[in-house]
Structure 1
Amino acid sequence: MGNKMTTTNIGVLPEELLTEVLVQLPVKTIGVCKLVCKPWLSLISNPDFINSHVHYVTDNNNNPTLLDIISPNLSNVVHNVPRVVPINGDMQALHDILHNMFALLRSIEERLYRSWMLNDRDGHDLSSCNVRFDRVVIPSVFRDSRVVGASCCNGIVCLTDDDVVYLWNPLIRRCKEVGVPELDVDSSSGVRIGFGYDSGCNDYKVFRTFWDGDLDSVTLKLQVYSVNGDSWGEFRGPVWGKGNNVGEEKLEGNDFVVVKEILYFSSWDEQHLIAFDLRKEVIGLVPFPSFVLKKCSDVLDFKDSIAVVFKSVSGIDLWKLNDNVWGQVSSWTKMFSIAPDDPHPKLKMWLSCYLGAGQFFGRKLLDGNVFMFNVLYDCEKKETKYYGVGKENILATLKYRETLVSLDGFHQVEENADQYSLTQETI
């Protein structure tokens, strides 16, 4: 007698157990499983399964991913090559010569700083980081668009060309176009666009803020697009008087963050957060701690809480906003300090998002506005790593998570296969 090997037909597993097994697979393997049989295709295509998979990958984010969005149009790459202007005796020629000399000196200064940081330190060695690096070339339909924010929302990337907003899942190669309401160009200023996920009603939302009015009185307006409702709503904030320079805020904001059904974004004065309760539809102001000097990060989603990095007299610290407390200076709690990593006063670190697993992504800036290289900061190990961006025309680098999420109104994006090069390589 011998032992007989027994086999089990996986097709007879209860649906609950099969779901529990499938949601733990890599998302590309799940895509292959859709081809096994019609019942599996039906199960995996079910919105409940997709939501279960999103929750699983969110709760098991031990290897966060950074996604480089690559432009397909190489001619858009800007090369820092000064022009040579002939001397013709007029003041314009002299102005051009001085301008080009300054540009050349600036270019040399940037290269020296990059050489010092990347060649004389081991910061460019990323082998010890638990971050995965991925890349995708955007379809040509998005060629004239810019990426919104520093993070995707459950695998959905937001782009805009001001007239249209695109919601795009690069993994499944599907997108949705959203028309943007027209603005009165004579009275509107400081336009910014954000994107977020409202977990309270399982809805994806696009946000647009702007100032409306004249020099004597301006009103903050917030427009909200709901994917579920396929419609825009508009809300009015406080009125500010003349002299607040409200129209001079930066146009591109990476810091629209939704946490626990409240949208947060920076105000024009860099002294408050503006908060919008998605349920109560009320706009309020959250003051920064009174003793901080300036921001050193975008508004961050740090472990399901709002956080901002501030510089103060004592150093650079990450502060977390306490839950359900608005309008009080004491509502911030200091979490940890970030030790200065170099002695050069011209180089500043700006953190863009919290990836998870103790890792922050940001950039090193020269004089506060010239990009030098990318930064990974490990708050648990207190380590800072640097790496360059190569020669590709990178439009944006996002915190990314692969999902099968497909929104109402999604359609296939037609593009050559080599435009999609999601590699999911672990370094």
Structure 2
Amino acid sequence: MGPSITDVPKSVLQDVIIKLPTKSIIMCKSVCKTWYSLISDPAFAKLHFAQAEAYPMVRPVDRRSVSRNLYLVEPEDSSGFDLKDHDCNRSRVHMNLSKYKLPVCHPEELLNYHRNGIVMPSHETERKVSMKITQIDDNNNEVDLGDGFAFMMQYDHNSYNLVNSCNGLLCLSYFFGNRPAAVCNPITGEFINLPHGPKHEKAMTLIGSGLGFSPRTNEYKVMRILKEQTPDTNKVAEIHTLGTGSWKSVGTARCSDSELSFPTCVKGMLYWFCDKWSGCSVISFDLDTEEFQSVPSLPFEDGYDVSMGDLGGSLCLCKVESFEINVWVMNDSGPQKLWMKKISIHTGFSRSWPRGVYIPMKYFENDGLLMFNSRLNAFFYHHPGNHSPFIYLKLREIKYSSSEAISHVPSFISLKDILVGKDVEILNINSRCAVLKLPGETEALSLVEENASF
């Protein structure tokens, strides 16, 4: 017999597989036992993550269905995002949209419908589904939301909110109250449920949460910030280390009553953007010392059309101002942290240029910038050296009313290898509700380049 594929040296095989798109690596696990063993090895997962890049993770969102589909946007091959302008012709977009799933919030409820032969209503049906919807508030009390409210919110009840991404993990929260509820790895299909927080003497409202990583302790931590429902409001900060069974108080947060948005973890710091009528600011929490830290004043005054995220390992702010899209990054290499303008995109003197929030997804070595605008369900790629500096990539073949995107680093690292304790139950996204075909889940999603002239 001639040579077999199993005769390829492990080191060579590993170098080849590790460079493939994420979905292709998953498919390689089905080739043979040797490949399955190689890809399932924690050492392979660590090597893959060390060289993995952040790419957009898109989630279609519709209040009329349970939104559990995710699409990772990756290059089809090693050539990367082929978004170059060739002889003034339209570029060829070589991207692969691979589908993954989020866990559902109340799987037993959906399984009961399935067992009883009851089909969840689709977008076109208006048949009333009888269900009782309750939520656990921030004081751990069960609240009945009522039959009428249940009819309106029957889909939201089973969907998680997407809070943020950190090192291949997604933090999820309940739709009602936005309380952190679970952490999942969509690539491995694993997730864990978070414990309920401590009870409080006064009624509390959550204004911010997020997942981060402490490099010093090598631990993943979930933060939540709550305020008292009284005129003299105090902001209570609580933290949960993944793998433990409880939350602990870490003092009070210095922020306004406004909701905190765009939670972002960079270099062991967890940041939130705070927008209020009197101005805007960024607050930060050091996950190593578990203390709040000061952040330099922002380079602008109002918080309209602002987003925040991780751009190449640095905290960044993106703001639309007049006929420009400006991107600032925080420079922390010196004795003091400073905001520095990294990119300034001139959109032209056109009132038809689409407004809204532009969220930076990825900054390329060739100075290209990929952004996402949820209002248009579209990506914008900008490169100052191209003949046509803007490439407009529209999400197509989708009936959802809107979509959201987050910058995400795909990871094959198992949750069992990062949890502090061993007593937390690790669940599988695909083990129970995979048999269910929920409304809208079979619809395809594609990315199509369109004319960017506005």
- Asked if these proteins are the same fold (TM beyond 0.5), I'd say yes
Aligned to 1:405: 413
AA aligned to 2:415 is L
Contact 1:286/1:327 (8 A) holds in 2: no
Residue 305, structure 1, aligned to residue 296, structure 2: no
Contact 2:299/2:339 (8 A) holds in 1: no
Is the alpha carbon distance of 1:34 and 1:398 closer, same or farther for their aligned partners in structure 2, counting shifts above 3 Å? same
Please give the alpha-carbon distance, in whole angstroms, between the structure 2 residues aligned to 1:183 and 1:194.
20
Residue 359, structure 1, aligned to residue 359, structure 2: no
Shift of 1:44: 2.5
Shift of 1:384: 5.5
Please give the alpha-carbon distance, in whole angstroms, between the structure 2 residues aligned to 1:196 and 1:422.
33
Is the alpha carbon distance of 1:215 and 1:75 closer, same or farther for their aligned partners in structure 2, counting shifts above 3 Å? closer
Please give the alpha-carbon distance, in whole angstroms, between the structure 1 residues aligned to 2:223 and 2:29.
34
Could you say what secondary structure the match of 1:288 adopts?
A: coil
Please give the alpha-carbon distance, in whole angstroms, between the structure 2 residues aligned to 1:383 and 1:300.
21
Residue 178, structure 1, aligned to residue 194, structure 2: yes
Which is bigger in relative contact order (C-alpha 8 A, separation at least 6)?
Answer: 1
Shift of 1:274: 0.8
Please give the alpha-carbon distance, in whole angstroms, between the structure 1 residues aligned to 2:347 and 2:214.
36
| Runs (5+) with no aligned partner, structure 1 | 77-124, 241-245, 365-370
The alignment-based identity, stated in percent, is 20
Could you say what secondary structure the match of 1:338 adopts?
A: strand
Shift of 1:157: 3.1
AA aligned to 1:227 is L
| Runs (5+) with no aligned partner, structure 2 | 68-88, 107-154, 417-424, 449-454
Is the alpha carbon distance of 1:232 and 1:39 closer, same or farther for their aligned partners in structure 2, counting shifts above 3 Å? farther
Aligned to 2:292: 283
Is the alpha carbon distance of 1:190 and 1:347 closer, same or farther for their aligned partners in structure 2, counting shifts above 3 Å? farther
When the two structures are aligned, how many residues end up with a matched partner?
Answer: 352
AA aligned to 2:16 is V
Could you say what secondary structure the match of 1:391 adopts?
A: coil
Residue 376, structure 1, aligned to residue 385, structure 2: no
Could you say what secondary structure the match of 2:355 adopts?
A: strand
Please give the alpha-carbon distance, in whole angstroms, between the structure 2 residues aligned to 1:171 and 1:147.
18
Please give the alpha-carbon distance, in whole angstroms, between the structure 1 residues aligned to 2:57 and 2:285.
28
What's the TM-score once normalised by structure 1's chain length? 0.67
The superposition leaves residues 203-254 of structure 1 with CA deviations (integer Å, 9 ceiling, x where unpaired) of 44322122348434x44333222225454333224567xxxxx32x136x2x
AA aligned to 2:160 is R
The superposition leaves residues 389-415 of structure 1 with CA deviations (integer Å, 9 ceiling, x where unpaired) of 642255633334543232134222322
Residue 415, structure 1, aligned to residue 429, structure 2: no
Contact 1:341/1:384 (8 A) holds in 2: no
Shift of 1:342: 6.3
Contact 2:183/2:193 (8 A) holds in 1: yes
Please give the alpha-carbon distance, in whole angstroms, between the structure 2 residues aligned to 1:215 and 1:346.
42
Aligned to 2:170: 157
AA aligned to 1:67 is V
Aligned to 2:347: 340
Which of 391, 395, 399 is equivalent to 1:391?
Answer: 399
Aligned to 1:224: 239
Shift of 1:202: 4.7
AA aligned to 2:390 is E
Shift of 1:257: 0.8
Please give the alpha-carbon distance, in whole angstroms, between the structure 1 residues aligned to 2:64 and 2:348.
36
The superposition leaves residues 265-298 of structure 1 with CA deviations (integer Å, 9 ceiling, x where unpaired) of 1235443211111112221231334555445332
Aligned to 2:211: 195
The superposition leaves residues 140-169 of structure 1 with CA deviations (integer Å, 9 ceiling, x where unpaired) of 4465233323x5444433322145612233
Aligned to 2:46: 51
Aligned to 1:119: none
Aligned to 1:19: 14
Could you say what secondary structure the match of 2:52 adopts?
A: helix
Please give the alpha-carbon distance, in whole angstroms, between the structure 2 residues aligned to 1:405 and 1:422.
29
Residue 67, structure 1, aligned to residue 58, structure 2: yes
Shift of 1:303: 0.9
Please give the alpha-carbon distance, in whole angstroms, between the structure 1 residues aligned to 2:186 and 2:90.
25
Name whichever of 416-425 and 29-38 sits farther off.
416-425
- Of the two, which has the highest radius of gyration? 1
Name whichever of 157-166 and 134-143 sits farther off.
134-143
Please give the alpha-carbon distance, in whole angstroms, between the structure 1 residues aligned to 2:101 and 2:401.
10
Is the alpha carbon distance of 1:317 and 1:44 closer, same or farther for their aligned partners in structure 2, counting shifts above 3 Å? same
Is the alpha carbon distance of 1:303 and 1:421 closer, same or farther for their aligned partners in structure 2, counting shifts above 3 Å? farther
AA aligned to 1:258 is C
Please give the alpha-carbon distance, in whole angstroms, between the structure 2 residues aligned to 1:126 and 1:421.
30
Could you say what secondary structure the match of 2:306 adopts?
A: coil
Is the alpha carbon distance of 1:281 and 1:157 closer, same or farther for their aligned partners in structure 2, counting shifts above 3 Å? closer
Contact 2:195/2:246 (8 A) holds in 1: no
Answer 1 or 2: which has greater helix percent: 1
What's the TM-score once normalised by structure 2's chain length? 0.63
Please give the alpha-carbon distance, in whole angstroms, between the structure 1 residues aligned to 2:319 and 2:63.
37
Which of 313, 316, 327 is equivalent to 1:318?
Answer: 327
